[in-house]
Amino acid sequence: MNRTAVEPNQSTLALTRTAGQHQKNPSNGVFPRPETCDHDRMQAIVQHQYGSAEVLEHAVIDRPTIGDKEVLIEVHSAGLDRGTWHLMTGTPYLIRILGFGFSRPKQATPGLDVAGRVTAVGKAVNRFAVGDEVFGIAKGSFAEYAAASEDKLVTKPAGLSFDAAAVATVSGITALEALTDIGHIQAGERVLIVGASGGVGSFAVQLAKALGAEVTGVASASKSDFVLSLGADYVFDYRTNYLENANCEYDLIVDIGGRTKVSSLRKLLTDTGTLVFVGGEGGNKITGGIGRQIGASLMSIFFKQRLTMFVSGESLEHITRLREFLESGAVSPAIGKRFKLSEVPTAMHELASGLTSGKSVIAVKSSTIT
Ligand SMILES: NC(=O)c1ccc[n+]([C@@H]2O[C@H](COP(=O)([O-])OP(=O)(O)OC[C@H]3O[C@@H](n4cnc5c(N)ncnc54)[C@H](OP(=O)(O)O)[C@@H]3O)[C@@H](O)[C@H]2O)c1
């Protein structure tokens, strides 16, 4: 991607040249608003090192430039997801090895989920025009403007708010892939969703219901009403001994959160059922949650049950399919909390602390108008 504008050295220069425009992360987690007076500049969250939310800074930087197959989006809203938190912390270290920056993030502006209006298009863009309202994935969405490949965007349904569209893509397509392409869900099946109250889980519950399954969600007790409100038929608190007491078997288990013992999950699965690993925190510093998923998937050759993992391909096909569920109203993004751009550190902290239900949205446009 062609993003010359947010090179660390340039932003650091901006700090020394324009005093007061580049705000260090304050103790209360909320930045004062920097001033923009140059039309080629924009407010953004930036980070020049890996770490906790303290590494985030509220800055005025150059707007991104776009490549031939990219569009420039005026960001209305951005969604926060676990992947963005991993990219902020640089953990597990595997993500550094995979090319996101070894000693510091290559992408200085965080944020992936986006919704906004197209303000410029590259020479080879043929799906969008200036003025189109879009949503999808744009690296660096925690900013007033973000560049995105046209293949990571779709038009926003008229009936969907920018906030709702902004939180949909990363978690929604992951849930969709887990249930359909990987889990081969069928109407009438019993589906268990472990981690039902989070970003991916809140979409998985709704999608599984829309696809005709009987859905049981697993979450903390305080979020059980939330999971039921998403449409789940039953809900378990993961702090109780549901693994021993569950009195039915599931055709499909989607394991999104926690580190439940694989042998315990297998006992809840039918003889020919499928266990799809989506995620789960913890593990060692190098591979994190992925280590457990890889190990279990390799063991699958010894069982009749299918144990499998995947990494979302972020394909246009999946974003387009998700859009259909959103447009029809079968799925409504569950927005837990709304934050200003300056409050991204607080939003990150709440995500890491498990205080979020569904997805948090960063209301960029309404919080940056000067
Ligand atoms: N494979 C992929 O392509 C892909 C894509 C996106 C995300 N992911 C991964 O998927 C995972 C979830 O992402 P997310 O955005 O949904 O995160 P999230 O919003 O933080 O949600 C985490 C969920 O896990 C639940 N949970 C926490 N501890 C648990 C336990 N001990 N047992 C059972 N459930 C527990 C939480 O429940 P409470 O909040 O009620 O405590 C919550 O529902 C992350 O590891 C992320 O990296 C993978």
Exposed / middle / buried, residue 281 (Cβ in 10 Å: 0-12, 13-18, 19+) = middle
Proportion of the chain above pLDDT 90, given as a percent: 75
Residue 2, pLDDT > 60, answer no
Three-state SS at 154: strand
Rounded Cα–Cα distance for residues 227 and 225 (Å): 5
Q: Looking at residue 284, what is its pLDDT? A: 80
Ligand 1 atom closest to Cα of 310? 1
pTM greater than 0.85 (yes/no)? yes
Proportion of the chain above pLDDT 70, given as a percent: 89
Q: What number is the average pLDDT over the span 339-368?
A: 96
Distance (Å) of CA 161 to CA 16, 67, 116, 328, 332: 39, 28, 10, 14, 10
Rounded Cα–Cα distance for residues 41 and 98 (Å): 31
- Give just the sign of the alpha carbon dihedral 137, 140, 144, 147: negative
CA of 227 to the centre of ligand 1 (A): 14
Residue from 223, 230, 256, 290 to probe ligand 1 pocket by mutation (most atoms less than 8 Å from CB): 256
CA of 3 to the centre of ligand 1 (A): 30
Ligand 1 atom closest to Cα of 358? 19
Residue from 80, 82, 182, 275 to probe ligand 1 pocket by mutation (most atoms less than 8 Å from CB): 82
Ligand 1 atom closest to Cα of 260? 32
Q: Looking at residue 18, what is its pLDDT? A: 35
What are φ and ψ of residue 111, in 5° steps?
A: 105, 135
Give the strand pairing for 133-137 and 113-121. Answer: antiparallel
Minimal-distance CA residue to ligand 1 atom 36: 195
pLDDT digits (tens, 9 = 90+) for 129-150: 999 999 999 999 999 999 999 9
Ligand 1 atom closest to Cα of 170? 6
Q: What number is the average pLDDT over the span 81-100?
A: 91
pLDDT-wise least confident of 24-38, 93-107, 259-273, 285-299: 24-38
Minimal-distance CA residue to ligand 1 atom 18: 198
- 245 CB contacts (<8 Å, ≥6 apart)? none
Residue from 200, 216, 242 to probe ligand 1 pocket by mutation (most atoms less than 8 Å from CB): 200
Ligand 1 atom closest to Cα of 81? 15
pLDDT digits (tens, 9 = 90+) for 110-119: 999 999 999 9
Strand segments (E) across 68-121:
70-80, 113-121
The residue type at 223: K
Counting DSSP H helices and E strands in the chain, the numbers are: 13, 15
Q: What number is the average pLDDT over the span 101-127?
A: 96
Three-state SS at 332: coil
Around ligand 1, the residues with Cβ closer than 6 Å are 81-83, 86, 171, 174, 194-201, 218-220, 223, 238, 256-258, 260, 278-281, 289, 310-312, 351, 354, 356
Rounded Cα–Cα distance for residues 87 and 322 (Å): 24
CA of 300 to the centre of ligand 1 (A): 22
Domains of the chain: 4-168+334-368 (3.90.180.10), 171-309 (3.40.50.720)
Rounded Cα–Cα distance for residues 352 and 85 (Å): 8
Residue 81 bridge partners (DSSP):
none
How far, in whole angstroms, is CA 45 from its chain's centroid?
Answer: 17
The residue type at 187: A
Residue 5, pLDDT > 70, answer no
Closest Cα partner for 203 from 359, 91, 90?
A: 359
Ligand 1 atom closest to Cα of 281? 45
Rounded Cα–Cα distance for residues 230 and 203 (Å): 8
Q: Looking at residue 36, what is its pLDDT? A: 58
